[in-house]
Amino acid sequence: MSQLPFDPLLLSIAAPLALALAIALGLPKRWSVLLAYVAFAIPALMALHVWFYFGDVAKTDGYAFLKTYDTGLSGLGIALKLGVNGISLPLFVLAGLVGLAAGLYAIQSGAERLKIYLMLLLIMQGGLMGVFASVDIFFFYFFHELALIPTFIMVGLWGGRDRSYAAMKMTIYLTLGAMVSLVGLIALYVKSGAHTFDLIELRKYLVGQPLAATVQHNIAGLLLFGLGVLVSLWPLHTWAPLGYGAAPSSAAMLHAGVLKKFGLYGLVQIALPLLPEGLAHWSHPLAWLAVVGNVLIVGLITIAQRDLKQMIGYSSVMHMGYAFLGIAAGGIIGPGGVVVLMVAHGLSVALLFLLATAIHHRTQTFAMDEMGGLAQKTPVLAAFFVAATLASIGLPGFANFWGELAIFVALWKFSPLITALAVAGVVISAVYGLRSAARVFFGPSTEQLAKVTAAHPPADLTWRERIPALILLAALLFIGFWPKSITTPINAALTPATATAPVTTGAKPATAI
């Protein structure tokens, strides 16, 4: 039983934000770096604590660690209400672990203006913890915006090639997605008549007085468009590969690994229980956009990439297609598989971005055609990269396998044709993933790489690099071998959410993952 004398959810949000404020107010660099270790560790430890005790603590409407803090906005139905249910719990843990790995990697990165770099990363971390701990939809959106703003700044200041263009494109696309999403959330607040942003109260209210079908269709359409842009739904996906290719590694780890899940999380946690007919209405257009655009077209574009970081960015867009397919399939298995895949993809893509930067430090390039034979000189780096690649493909033993399997099972009941096209994406991801590992680490060394390594022989991963990589890989393997550690609470949370939802046309209800 949890016996902490403080709220672990609030502390996980406040700790990184407090240190970010201290750095902004002039905390010396030495203390900033030392306290950054603590500020990144606290959210991870609190997340693990909440995960460990989630099954034992008392729950209210499926939420544990539920507390409300008055913000003076109660007249508008707004309050800082924190809590986690079976859907938000795995993502809250994801944010803590990826944040710790990204923070540790940032501290030893030697980045210019390190204090400001850490300050922005800490603001991002605090916002991410707030997104998945918020029960109030207003603060759910507020914390996302808080975490999003540092991304633009970090890409613009510390980014690589085309950073100014990448930062501008990200700003335009993500601001558009955020604004459309906000319109949808406000419409939900107004049309519900519940006069509250509290997700628990909204759900109770709309069970007895559901929104009209046309209203649901319209609001669900707004949310799918706005949140779809944030998640890089094809064809409004082009900001993601460019942005991740230019972003500094820790920012790419946090954004691609965690912040990008905001849109999918919003669809599962908010739209699924409150707008079931609306999601069902858009399920077939969503499924075809995802399978043709994200999975097949973007998958083939990923194969054509020769830049390692760009390839990882495009692969991230491709795998979001599977998540949208799970939402379109509906039932419990579909959205449940989406939550598992979000966690698994967040861990694996963060690990790949970390390793891509480690490769760049040793080869001075992201061009895979200029690499080769690194496994002889850096066997530990090669082992981590191959493991991360196999996880991304969905090999059994890694968390990604269970997420993709659940989505395919749900999708088969929705449409066998779409399922067949989606499974073809697994072959595509195997081609670009294994080929990238072969080009970078195996075969003869290229002439360009030989010149670089002759002057600066590449060293294997240091322990400062291995520790954040181990955190991510261990989590992938832990969930891969014990999927019930997250699927049990997911099933419990989704069962009431989908019990009264209409079955999507062509689909049969599924029971659990």
Q: What angle in degrees, to the nearest 10, is found between the helix axes of 163-192 and 199-208?
A: 50
Task: List the 63-69 sheet strands across, edge first.
Answer: 59-60, 63-69, 80-84
Name the DSSP class of 55: T
Q: What is the mean pLDDT of residues 206-219?
A: 88
CA distances from 497 to 199, 227, 276 (A): 12, 20, 9
Q: Give the pLDDT band of residue 512 (cuts 50, 70, 90).
A: low
Q: What whole-number distance in Å separates Cα of residue 383 and Cα of residue 387?
A: 6
Res 506 pLDDT > 70: no
Cβ proximity of 298 and 343 under 8 Å: no
pLDDT score at 402: 93
Task: Measure the CA–CA gap between 130 and 49, rounded to whole angstroms.
Answer: 16
Three-state secondary structure call for residue 269: helix
Q: Alpha-carbon distance 99 to 51, whole Å?
A: 16
Averaged over 449-470, what is the pLDDT? Answer: 82
The pLDDT of residue 444? 78
Token code pair at residue 158: 């510390």
Query: Do 43 and 50 form a contact (C-beta atoms < 8 A)?
Result: no
Quote the pLDDT of residue 77.
75
Instruction: Output the average pLDDT for the chain.
Output: 88
Asked if the peptide bond before residue 28 counts as cis, ω within 30 degrees of 0, the response is: no
**CA gap 15, 40 in Å, rounded:** 8
Q: pLDDT at position 504, please?
A: 45
| DSSP strand pairing (59-60 vs 80-84) | unpaired
Q: Cα–Cα distance between 423 and 405 in angstroms, integer?
A: 10
What's the rounded Cα separation, in Å, for the pair 367 and 91?
33
The answer to whether 27 touches 18, Cβ cutoff 8 Å, is no
Q: Would you call the peptide bond into 16 cis, given omega within 30 degrees of 0 as the criterion?
A: no
pLDDT digits (tens, 9 = 90+) for 471-491: 999 999 999 999 999 999 999
pLDDT at 124: 93
Residue 509 pLDDT greater than 80, yes or no: no
CA distance 255 to 204: 33
**Confidence class of residue 507 from pLDDT cuts 50, 70 and 90?**
very low
**What was the pLDDT predicted at 1?**
53
pLDDT digits (tens, 9 = 90+) for 302-328: 999 988 988 999 999 999 999 999 999
The residue ranking higher by pLDDT, 71 or 282, is 282
Q: What is the pLDDT of residue 115?
A: 87
pLDDT over 60 (residue 191): yes
Q: Report the C-alpha gap between 105 and 386 in whole angstroms.
A: 20
pLDDT band for position 37 (cuts 50, 70, 90): very high
Could you give phi then psi for residue 108, rounded to 5 degrees? -95, 10
Q: Which residues contact 375 (CB under 8 A, 6 or more apart)?
A: 382, 441, 442
Question: What is the three-class DSSP state of 64?
Answer: strand
Do the beta carbons of residue 210 and residue 126 sit within 8 Å?
no
Q: How high is the pLDDT of residue 501?
A: 45
* Main-chain phi, psi angles of 45, to 5 degrees: -65, -40
d(CA 251, CA 111): 12
Q: Is the pLDDT of residue 148 over 80?
A: yes
Is residue 503's pLDDT more than 60?
no
Assess contact for 298 and 321: CB atoms under 8 A: yes
Cβ neighbours of residue 427 under 8 Å, at least 6 residues apart?
A: none
Q: CA-CA distance, 311 to 306, in Å (whole number)?
A: 7
What confidence category does residue 361 fall into, taking pLDDT thresholds of 50, 70 and 90? confident
330-360 core/surface letters (b: 16 or more CB in 10 A; e: else): bbbbbbbbbbbbbbbbbbbbbbbbbbbbbbb
Distance from the Cα of residue 343 to its chain's centroid: 7
Model confidence at 43: pLDDT above 90 = yes
Determine the average pLDDT of the residues in 368-389.
Answer: 89
Residue 237 CA, distance from chain mean position: 15
- What average pLDDT does the segment 91-114 reach? 90
CB 233 within 8 A of CB 290: yes
The closest alpha carbon to 330, from 262, 392, 395, 418, belongs to: 418
Structure-token match 């960015």, residue found: 313
CB-based contact 324:263 (threshold 8 Å): no
Average pLDDT, stretch 116-133?
94
- The backbone torsions φ and ψ at residue 307, rounded to the nearest 5 degrees and listed phi first, read -95, 125
